[in-house]
Amino acid sequence: MATLDEIKKSALASLWFMFLTFPIMVIRVNTVENEIEWRWTNLLFIGIGSFILSFVWRYMIKRKEIGAKEADESTDIKVSLGQRLQEDRRIYMPALVFISICAIAFPFVFSMYQTNIMITALMYVILGLGLNIVVGLAGLLDLGYVAFYAVGAYSYALLNYHWGLGFWTVLPIGAALGALTGIILGFPVLRLRGDYLAIVTLGFGEIIRLILENWNAFSFGPSGIANIPRPGLFGIELSLHQNIIYLYFLMIALTIFTIFVVNRLQASRIGRAWIALREDEIACQAMGVDKTKTKLTAFALGATWAGMGGVVFAAKTTFINPASFTIWESIIILCVVVLGGMGSIIGVIFGAGFLILLPEYLRAVSEYRMLVFGAVLVAMMVFRPGGLISTSRSPYEFEKAENSKRNA
């Protein structure tokens, strides 16, 4: 009965969509011969396609509701900590070995263009993990994250232009300047939450961009800064292809370092304070957590990775200007976090790969690329609102002391 009802609703939606698209898809005026062409075949295809899509859409939503209901009714299965660690090791170790082999062989198997795309994806992994601290863990909606990215990029470009400082010298400086900028932004927004916080951070990002665009004496304005040197390797002269391979492995090392640090932060005391702040700010403050310190730490650490990513971006492109740091960059990085799964490290990695690699590999169907891309995003938000890999707190049951002694 339910299936028949869904068929009726899908048929009604199909008829309505056929009615809406009738003037565009069926009627065509031939101005050369002054006659009207009736393309009834297009209407048939639209009707069949919209019916199938509507039926599949309703079926998937129904399956999602049934799955959520069963999950609520089922009891939680508790496992011991040791058993859980053994299962994780058995699953993840072969996968890590396989991924490591593929990552090492990638630049030698694929072209320089593919390696460049992968470098960009790894760069967005670092940026996404940095924003994940602010948005995913602390629950602070930051739409001006690109400002810290710009601070890192311009710190390398300007320090190299005026004082000749190299990549490895500026990398920690860019990270420190990003953290300082994050603290400066954090102070005015300590009392703000939700939409108000998003608006203020959005304004801050635009302020930084406009300063870089109009202060010609400082940032060279819209002309930007060119001839930024790429990362060096102990003074060895590298060709363009060798430099891209070197930058690829450098990005892998920085990504691993970022994952390690963010994972340790997430499991630390400050990480638990961020999660508590995200869940309930009032309860968090009532339990004795310093709200000011916690928010400032989140902004500073998140901006640190943005500053570091900006330095790498300037070294990769060898040219920067304010047009590279618009609001759309912040939105893309935020989409990486939301689509991958807020608070999930693995989710952010998959989200960056999805958002950066998918549009590049859909260039073969460039006319429909954004249509496919948008449809996939809409489907993800409907059927996986928690992201590709959502965070979940696994229940653990520790063995009692008596049982431990008996087993010993």
Specify the pLDDT at position 79.
Answer: 45
Q: Which residue has the tokens 């961020």?
A: 274
Which of the listed residues 15, 42, 57 is the one where a domain comes to its end?
A: 57
Q: Which DSSP symbol is given to 35? A: E
Specify the pLDDT at position 91.
Answer: 56
Domain count, the chain: 2
Specify the pLDDT at position 56.
Answer: 76
- Whether 50 and 142 map to the same domain: the answer is no
Specify the pLDDT at position 396.
Answer: 46
- Whether 173 and 318 map to the same domain: the answer is yes
Candidates 306, 319, 352, 350; CA nearest to 119 is 352
Q: Is residue 236 part of a domain?
A: yes
Count of C-beta atoms within a 10 Å radius of residue 352: 28
- Whether 30 and 132 map to the same domain: the answer is no
- Whether 175 and 314 map to the same domain: the answer is yes
Six-digit token string for 202: 């959005």
Which of the listed residues 302, 334, 366 is the one where a domain comes to its end?
A: 334
- Whether 127 and 30 map to the same domain: the answer is no
Q: Which residues pair with 38 in a beta bridge?
A: 27
- Whether 44 and 144 map to the same domain: the answer is no
Secondary structure, 3-state, 244-264: HHHHHHHHHHHHHHHHHHHHH
Q: Is residue 392 part of a domain?
A: no
- Whether 51 and 180 map to the same domain: the answer is no
- Whether 134 and 25 map to the same domain: the answer is no
Q: Is residue 232 part of a domain?
A: yes
Q: Which DSSP symbol is given to 365? A: G
Specify the pLDDT at position 19.
Answer: 79
Q: Mean pLDDT for each 10-residue chunk of the chain (408 residues)?
A: 70 80 77 77 80 76 67 48 51 72 87 90 93 89 90 94 90 94 86 82 89 89 89 79 91 93 88 86 83 89 93 92 89 87 86 83 66 72 72 53 50
Q: Is residue 17 part of a domain?
A: yes
Nearest 5°: phi and psi at 92?
-80, -30
- Whether 11 and 129 map to the same domain: the answer is no
Which of the listed residues 274, 306, 334 is the one where a domain comes to its end?
A: 334
Q: Is residue 50 part of a domain?
A: yes
- Whether 197 and 262 map to the same domain: the answer is yes
Torsional sign, CA 281, 283, 285, 288: negative
Q: Is residue 380 part of a domain?
A: no
Which residues form the domain of 277? 111-334
Is 105 within 8 Å of 165 (Cβ atoms)?
no
- Whether 11 and 147 map to the same domain: the answer is no
Q: Is residue 348 part of a domain?
A: no
Q: Is residue 121 part of a domain?
A: yes
- Whether 182 and 298 map to the same domain: the answer is yes
